[in-house]
Amino acid sequence: QDAPLTLCSFALPARQFRMPVSQRQALRASRARAFSTACVVALSLGLIVGAWPLVFTAGNSHLPYVVGTHHSGGTLAASTAAGPWRQRASGSLMARKALNVDLSGKVAFVAGVADTSGYGWAIVRELANAGATVIVGTWPPVLKLFQMTLKKSATDEARKLDDGSLLNIEKIYPLDATFDVPEDVPEDIKTNKRYAGVGAFTIQETVEQIKQDYGKVDILVHSLANGPEVTKPLLETSRKGYLAASSSSAYSLVSMVSRFAPIMPKGSSVVSLSYIASERVIPGYGGGMSSAKAQLESDTRTLAWEAGRKYGIRVNTISAGPLKSRAASAIGGDGKKTFIERAIDYAVTNAPLTNPLYAENVGTSALCLLSDLMAGVTGVTLYVDMGLHAMGQGIDSPAFEGLNIGGQAADES
C-alpha cells in the first residue's frame, strides 16, 4: 500500500494573553517556519517510504508495482499500479521486464506462404502468437497441396503456438502477384489446369475479397520471390527471364502496397523479405534475382516516403540470411550440394555469430517491425543474418591459412 503522506499540525493558543504585537508577529513567523520545515520533512519521508517497495523489488522478476500492458492493437503503454510518482519511478528506477506484443483485433495478410518451412510461415506463426487474425495468400498451382498439408497431423508441431494451441489460418486466398487485375491474365494462364477452380487470384481481386471478408488489413507481409532463370548467370539471362524476376519479386511489392494501402488504417505496417545478393555478388543467385532484390530494397525506401505521407503506414524490408526452405532448395546446385547448402556453410563459417540462422529469428524480427514497438521505424533494410552482411572478407579463404583469426585455432600441422 502507498505510504500515507503525513502533515504536521500545531495546536495554537486561542488567545495571545496580551502579548505585544511585535512578539506575536515574531512568534507567528517562527511557527510558520517550523511548520514549513516539518511539512518538507514529512513529505520527503512519505515519498521515500512510498518509493521503497519500488527500489526493493527492482531485482524481483515479478515487478508487482510496475507492469507493462498493452491495449488491443499492439500499442505499448507503460502503466503503473497507482499515482504519478510510480509512473516517474518506472522510468527512472526500473527497466521493463519484457516487451510483449498484443495484436488482438489486427488483421495480418501474409503473401507467399505455401509450406511450413520458410520465413513466411515463421512470420505467420509469430503474428498468430501475438493474437493477430492471420490470413495468407498462396500461389494457385500449389494452393490445394498446401491446404491438404495443413490438415495432416505431421504439421502439428510446426503449427504449435507458444501456449500449446495449434495455429489456425483464418483463410487462404489464391494469389498470383504477377497480375494486378483480371485484364492482365493471359489466356494460357486462364486455361491452365493448375489454375482451374481456384477463383479470383489477381492482387486487386484479393484486396477486394479481403475487404469484403475483414474490412481492413493492418499488417501486410510480402514473402514473394520467383526467378524462372535463377540458375543462369546474369550474362546468360534472357530479357523475358530478367523482367519476370523483377515483376514477381519486386514490382509485386509496389502493386500490393498501392492496392492494399486504401484498406490499411493509419499506423499499419508492411514488411518484405530481401537477400544480401541485392548489394553483394552471390554466385549462383542469377536470372536477374539479385537485381530484383536491389529493386525491392530501393522501392522500400521510396514506398516508405510515399505511403507514409499519403496513408500513414510504414514500409520496411528484412535482408534475411540463407535458410534451407523448400523454395531455396529448388535453386539447384553442382550435384554435391545445393546452392542454399553452400550458402549456409559459408555463413556459419564467416559470420560474426556462428549460430545457425533459424526461421524463427526472422519471424520475431518481422513481428517487431510490424508492431508498434517499431512505430518510429520506416524505410529500413534490417539485416537478420548473424552479421554476415558486415563482413568484407571470408575468413575461410586460403589467404588466412595459419592465422589465428575469428576465434579459430591456428593450424599447427
Active site positions, annotated? 275, 285
Residue 115 CB neighbours (<10 A): 18
Strand partners, 173: 137
CA distances from 329 to 144, 245, 293, 323, 325 (A): 21, 17, 18, 9, 6
Q: What angle do CA 270, 253, 141 make, to 5 degrees?
A: 110
Hunting for cell 502493386 — which residue is that?
A: 255
Residue 303's nearest CA partner among 269, 327, 328, 334 is 269
Q: What angle do CA 14, 15, 19 make, to 5 degrees?
A: 145
Q: How far apart are CA 93 and CA 73, in angstroms?
A: 28
Residues 6+ apart with CB under 8 A from 183: none
Q: How far apart are CA 243 and CA 291, in angstroms?
A: 10
Strand partners, 381: 317
Q: Which helix (H) or strand (E) holds 301?
A: helix 289-311
Q: Which helix (H) or strand (E) holds 363?
A: helix 359-370
Residue 145 CB neighbours (<10 A): 12
